[in-house]
Structure 1
Amino acid sequence: MSALTLRIRRLAATAVALAAGGTLTLTGAAHAAPATPAARPAAAEAAPATSAPLVKGLYQSAYSERNHVLWATSAVGRPPVTRSALVKVDPRTMTIRASYTPPVTDRATGTVEAVYGIDVDDRHNTVWTTNTRDNSVAVYSQRTGKHLATLPGVAHAREVVVDERHRTAWATGFGDGSLVAFDTRTYKEKKRVTVEGAGPTGLAVDERTGTAYAADLNGNQIIEAAPGAAKPRLIPTGQGPISLALSRDGRTAYTADQKAGTVSVVDLRKGSVVKTVATGEGTLAVASDPRTGAVAVADRTAATVSFLDPRQGTVVKTVTTGANPNHIEIARGTAYIVDKSGTGPQGEDRLNRIRVTR
């Protein structure tokens, strides 16, 4: 998809092990379309979920409109991680077209540069990933799956989101409270914003303005990094924000508040929470549908996806998925949810698909 194509992608949350051996949940990338006019969010209906096994260790997915492909990341186990893959999935048949192994970083142990967070750059036909354990991000070719570059310096890299209009890839560094921007043509770092004590996780970008937003898990706030701003703006939200999405007009943010089991609806102009919606235990991932404006939320503990009318502050539909839904990607009116259920014939995690309509 070119930079002129209007699009919104929302990614939600996935689990990534900390270097110290604990666990933390990882959220995903989101975009506000560069030229979509303001519109009232509409309630949406959702068909029952269908699912198919993919691979073990699923984390995130990202849809390529240019290639009509769903890309997914997987990584299995704690260090040394020797099993990780970038997986190319047919969204219609929910089957794997190709699988690519990240580079080996330690031949003695077989450790690979494991991939976790993901987004696509259709303008340059590439895939960007976060390599959480290696404190880096990486770039791959969508056409061949070839590893093109590894970009270090993102401490406990969590999420990555591509702003095609401004040729920028943003990544969150949970380890040092940073948001790091890279040039998608040269792969060089172009900006770094750091908030002391913050733990940025979920990430979104408004492609109309080039403003990046990150959910700060540590500070119960949103970090706003606007072009030309001398310092980041901090906007309060709910308890334990782990994932973040934007409305179609970029004026509203939605945060999945893991500790509270809610979604906060945040007016970005006023800098305040205007609605709080209870969704279910283990609220982990939030995504917004670019067609209907509906908001979808993955409740990890409840093994459901809740569809919201954010204007009314209500849940309008709840759909059961596989156990431990971890991440949501919405494209062309369809929600794709990867889970960590391990319920496939060989213990694979599953891809769940839900059609969203007005």
Structure 2
Amino acid sequence: MFRHASQRGLRLRHTFALSLLAAAIGTATPALAAPEVARSVKVDERVYEIAFNPANQAVYAAVTGLGNDSEQSVSPGIVVLDANTLEQKTKIETGEITPFGLGINAQTQKIYAVDTRKGLVGVYDLKTGKEVAVIENSGNESNHLRQAVVDEGTNKIYISAFGGIERDGKKGPASAVWVIDGATDTLESVIVSPVQSAAGLALDAGKQRLYVADLSNSKIAEVDIKTQNVLRTFDSVSLEGDAKAQPFDTINLAIDTKNNVLYAINQKSGGVSLIDLKSGKVTKTVKTGDGALSARVHPQSSDLYVANRNDGTVSVVDADTHYVTAHLFTGVRPQTLAIDPKTGQVYVSNKAKGKGRQAPKDAPVPVEAAGNTVTLITP
């Protein structure tokens, strides 16, 4: 895989020229900049997904305010942080919505907050912080909402709804993808059962293709979002012979539209699968860390940043060699990432471990300096 006049190629040529110059004048060659953790700030309100808004250079963090016993400790909302200092600027109060996932339309300046437990999507004006709408689905499909992706060109928002799970011999509601019309902020349609258990989403806006990860079977569906038909389904892990994919492995997706590569984030395997979108085949598997959860493709270098939830690290996978070039400790449980397309700065949300679901109510909450934080990585 090659990138014409890539940024990395220019750096290498620049480094070679510096080496020759250093040899000639007897000075050391300056080291190339490497990704590093610049700072972290405490959010203290059980942070989940983050999103970046280029219009005001701010990071938005969904905070649920839920304690370990699911009782409300503080009010849920969306914390707004300065992109450079990570200083809290304000907080959008979300009322009945407990936000877990976020999606921003930078063109309309609206943020879509996904309430996983209630099956609602709250819409908020980013300029005023006021609620615009609350969206729900009255159909029989699953309302266990998970991820939002935004197509700014068509002003459509896609929300995955996890379903298709059998419990006690009974099959639960079907998995789905909601299609929200951003002009009216209403539910336009529902794509029913594109896969058995819809988890992560990735959008190729240029080709109008939506990729849906099937958590139950570690497969991926390619959906034509104009017709809402599934065009093909392919494996998201490398299989040889009669090998079968691990269930509940592929949880999230990331797409590199420049190089026509889809990345499957595999939590059980602890890494990513590289899928050539032309053939639909896995071309390589890269180990990144225990509990690989989510990833983002860097808009400038095309490197892949992967949050490894159980490792407490973010790994950087080189776009050309597909080698891991960095493991950066960011917090206790890295959850999601966001990237500033202009500066290239990377942001990571880190959830705390807490005292655990089985702990008694009177057990103290552990002190976790690196939990419930947002971390800034400079590329």
TMscore range, shorter length = 0.7 to 0.9
Aligned: 1:353 with 2:376: yes
Q: Which residue of 2 aligns with 1:66?
A: 55
SS at match of 1:133: coil
Match of 2:331 among 311, 322, 326: 322
C-alpha displacement of 1:215: 1.8
The separation in 2 between residues aligned to 1:289 and 1:207, in whole angstroms, is 17
**What is the Cα deviation at residue 80 of structure 1?**
5.5
State the Cα distance separating 1:94 from its structure 2 match: 0.4
Deviation at 1:329, TM superposition (A): 0.9
Q: Cα distance, 1:39 vs. partner?
A: 8.1
Structure whose CA Rg is larger: 2
How far is 1:209 from its partner?
A: 2.1
CA distance in 2 between counterparts of 1:221 and 1:181 reads: 21
Q: How does 1:47-126 map to 2 (within 5 A)?
A: 47-75=36-64, 76-77=66-67, 79=70, 81=72, 83-103=75-95, 112-126=96-110
Alpha-carbon offset, residue 350 of structure 1: 0.7
Cα pair distance change 1:311/1:206, threshold 3 Å? same
In 1, Cα distance between the equivalents of 2:100 and 2:129? 16
Aligned with residue 222 of structure 2, among 221, 224, 236:
224
- How many angstroms does 1:42 deviate by? 5.3
- Whole-angstrom CA distance in 2 between matches of 1:289 and 1:196: 28
Q: Aligned to 2:206, what secondary structure does the other structure show?
A: coil
Are the aligned partners of 1:264 and 1:273 in contact in 2 as well (CA < 8 Å)?
Answer: yes
The corresponding residue for 1:146 is: 130
Q: C-alpha displacement at 1:191, in angstroms?
A: 3.3
- Measured in 2, the distance between the counterparts of 1:243 and 1:38 equals 29
Report the equivalent of 2:191: 193
Amino acid at match of 2:154: H
Give the superposition deviation at 1:197: 6.3
Bigger mean CA deviation after superposition, 244-253 or 163-172 = 244-253
CA offsets, 1:305-355, max 9 Å, x none? 110024423111111111111111122311100101379899961111101
Contact 1:116 1:132 in 2 (8 A): yes
CA contact (8 A) 1:288 1:296 kept: yes
The one-letter code matched in structure 1 to 2:331 is: G
Find the aligned partners of 2:231 and 2:86 in 1 and give their Cα distance.
40
1:286 maps to amino acid: A
Distance 2:344 2:162 in 1: 31
Find the aligned partners of 1:61 and 1:97 in 2 and give their Cα distance.
15
* Cα RMSD after superposing both structures: 2.5
Change (3 A) 1:297 1:39: farther
> 2:89 & 2:350 partners in 1: Cα distance?
19
CA drift at 1:207: 1.6
Superposition map of 1:232-251 within 5 A: 232-238=231-237, 239=246, 240-249=249-258, 251=260
Counterpart for residue 215 of structure 1? 213
* Identical pairs, percent: 26
Alignment gaps of 5+ in structure 1: 1-36, 104-111
- Pairing 1:262–2:271 present: yes
Aligned with 2:117: secondary structure? helix
Q: Which has the higher contact order (CA 8 A, sep 6+)?
A: 1
Q: Which runs of 5+ in 2 are unaligned?
A: 10-32, 164-173, 238-245, 355-365
Which string of whole-angstrom CA distances, capped at 9 and with x for unpartnered residues, describes residues 159-217 of structure 1?
Answer: 11110001100000013321111111112333322227622222221121222112221
Tell me if structure 1 keeps the 8 A contact 2:270–2:287: yes
Return 347-356 or 131-140, whichever deviates more: 347-356
Matches of 2:229 and 2:4, distance apart in 1: 28
Letter of the 2:128 partner, please give it. Answer: T
Scaled by the length of structure 1, what TM-score is found?
Answer: 0.80
Superposed structure 1 runs of 4+ greater than 6 Å apart: 37-41, 342-348
Q: Whose helix proportion is higher, 1 or 2?
A: 2
CA distance in 1: counterparts of 2:5 and 2:102, whole angstroms: 28
Aligned AA (2:350)? D
**Contact 2:333–2:371, Cα closer than 8 Å, also in 1:** no
CA distance in 2, matches of 1:147, 1:138: 7
Q: Secondary structure at the match of 1:198?
A: coil
Q: 1:293 and 1:196 mapped to 2: Cα distance? A: 28
Q: How many aligned positions are there?
A: 312
Partner of 1:283: 292
Q: Report if the CA contact (8 A) 1:41-1:311 is conserved.
A: no
User: Counterpart amino acid of 1:65?
Assistant: P
Higher strand content, 1 or 2 = 1
- Indicate conservation of the 8 Å contact 2:43/2:374, yes or no: yes
Q: What residue is the counterpart of 2:170 in the other structure? A: none
- Which whole-Å CA distance do the structure 2 matches of 1:334 and 1:265 have between them? 24
Separation of aligned partners in 2, 1:325 and 1:122 = 25
